[in-house]
Amino acid sequence: MKSALPLLILATSLLCAGAQVGDKPNIVYILADDLGYGDLGCYGQEIIQTPNIDQLCREGMRFTNHHSGSTVCAPSRACLMTGQHTGHVWVRSNGNIQLRDDDQDMTIARVLKNEGYHTAMIGKNGLGCNGITPGFANRKGFDYFYGFNSHSAAHHYFAPFVHRNGEKVVFPNNKTHTGDTYIHDEFMKEIMSYLDRRKKDDQPFFLHYAALIPHASLVAPEEWIAKYRGKVKEAPPFKGGGGGRGGEYGPVQEPKATFAGMVSRLDWEVGEIMKKLESLGMAGNTLVIFSSDNGPHQEGGKLAEWFSSSGGLRGHKRDLFEGGVRVPMIAHWPGRVEAGSVSDHLSAFWDVMPTLCELTGATAPEGIDGISFLPTLFKEGEQQQHDYLYWEFSSKGGRRAALTHKWKAVQLGKAPIMLFAVDDLYEEHDVASKHPDVTERFQKLFNEAHTPKPSTK
């Protein structure tokens, strides 16, 4: 049975944090795009500067064993939104696909909205991939949406248009890779305005900021590139191309300095959000979570090895080795989450739904795969553990992986299952031949964890 947070403890802790008894906490979930496990200072990065996220880490809890929903954008975000892993979730790959209408695919936004929260998503739509219907976010529980419906369009930092709810917002001078409106500037304006409105109406809110950074194309304002110009041994210019589906990556003259500048720009944005919460008197009653949707990319002229973006882990985006799915996660809530704490609790994106449900008193949908990590977050009660985490990825001939507290199994297509001891963090030693019984158990687990997608009829 999942542990419940005693109401008396919650009420007392909220008073200590500056909130009123009975208040529901605000929730801000910030999701980076293709940020690697090793791209942040607090996770070992030595070149790229991330002082604001590092401060978030010093004042909160750093998770060292947290995993994304998938190794690419759309299914990973679908797992986050629905509390299901990729053996069960509707969106299991990138492409022209979106979640189904309620009640088939219930999102965390819908659950929190039903609990009295105002809900918003700003940035990249996490409810599918390409071909998403304008206004779909509103139908899936978000009171407010501003950003990209299509993931391919989200390759462009000077996009010709985005959507506010179901309506187009046009930037006539933008030409995808050049223009006068850098879309992340608009995202920050929207976030600040949204927080101001929430302060006025005094309603608890769930804000999901799905940043584009540092996904290719490699683009950053000059002031951020300049921070690294001459400080990194530069890679050859990238002429542009790739990306597919109309989301081609733009050219970049200084790939390394630009990528580093992008990460530092994102770090600055996190700092601005935290300052805004503080200035509005909201910080004491707001849980802020920061994470990334999968491992670092190898696209748009960027290589994961440049800054050891995978943190030494094997693989990167599109791999089911740890470099493709182990991601940073930091939780921050003054007075509730212990400052400077570190947890190696085994968790994944599908745990966010039940965690926020337990936090807010909402009822989690039936049939989800997640387990609340609230006992770990607050260091109260008994933490339920996963028997395993599971991923499947249809590209590149099909890939499957599962992780327990002792073993990691990875299968590439129809090749034999590779087996790694959890202590072999960098997945260097395949010991499948020495443990055929364990490998056989993982084969059965793979089959049990996968459910064929139901008919769309």
On the 0-12 / 13-18 / 19+ scale of CB atoms within 10 A, 96 is exposed
131 pLDDT above the threshold of 90: no
Q: What CA–CA distance (Å, rounded) separates 189 from 85?
A: 33
The pLDDT, as a whole number, for residue 159 is 96
Task: Tell me the CB-side half-sphere exposure of residue 210, using CA atoms within 13 A.
Answer: 25
Q: What CA–CA distance (Å, rounded) separates 363 from 356?
A: 10
Q: Which of 93, 58, 65 is nearest to 79 (CA)?
A: 93
Distance of alpha carbon 438 from its chain centroid, rounded?
31
The pLDDT, as a whole number, for residue 397 is 85
- Is residue 38 within 8 A of residue 312, CB to CB? The reply is yes
Structure tokens at 406: 């002792």
At 201, the pLDDT band (50, 70, 90 cuts) reads very high
Q: Over the stretch 243-287, which tens digit does the pLDDT of each residue have?
A: 877 789 999 999 999 999 999 999 999 999 999 999 999 999 999
Q: Which of 316, 154, 292, 177 is nearest to 238 (CA)?
A: 177
The pLDDT, as a whole number, for residue 306 is 96
Quick one: CA dihedral 263, 142, 75, 288, positive or negative?
positive
Q: Which of 414, 415, 419, 413 is nearest to 432 (CA)?
A: 419
Q: Over the stretch 339-376, which tens digit does the pLDDT of each residue have?
A: 999 999 999 999 999 999 999 999 999 999 999 999 99
With a CB cutoff of 8 Å and minimum separation 6, the contacts of 51 are 41, 267, 271
Structure tokens at 419: 């087996």
Distance (Å) of CA 286 to CA 162, 360, 453: 28, 12, 37
453 pLDDT above the threshold of 70: yes
Q: What CA–CA distance (Å, rounded) separates 191 from 208?
A: 10
The neighbour count for residue 44, using CB atoms within 10 Å, is: 12
pTM higher than 0.85, yes or no? yes
Distance of alpha carbon 208 from its chain centroid, rounded?
10
Catalogue all structural domains in the chain, each as residue range(s) with its CATH number: 25-387 (3.40.720.10)
18 pLDDT above the threshold of 60: no
Q: Over the stretch 375-407, which tens digit does the pLDDT of each residue have?
A: 999 999 999 999 999 999 998 789 999 999 999
Q: Which of 329, 354, 349 is nearest to 68 (CA)?
A: 349
Q: What is the DSSP letter of 236?
A: P
457 pLDDT above the threshold of 50: no
Q: What CA–CA distance (Å, rounded) separates 398 from 194?
A: 41
At 455, the pLDDT band (50, 70, 90 cuts) reads very low
The pLDDT, as a whole number, for residue 454 is 65
Question: Which segments of 259-382 are extended strands (E)?
Answer: 286-292, 329-332, 341-343, 347-348
Q: What CA–CA distance (Å, rounded) separates 443 from 268?
A: 45
On the 0-12 / 13-18 / 19+ scale of CB atoms within 10 A, 196 is exposed
Segment 320-328 shows an average pLDDT of 98
55 pLDDT above the threshold of 50: yes
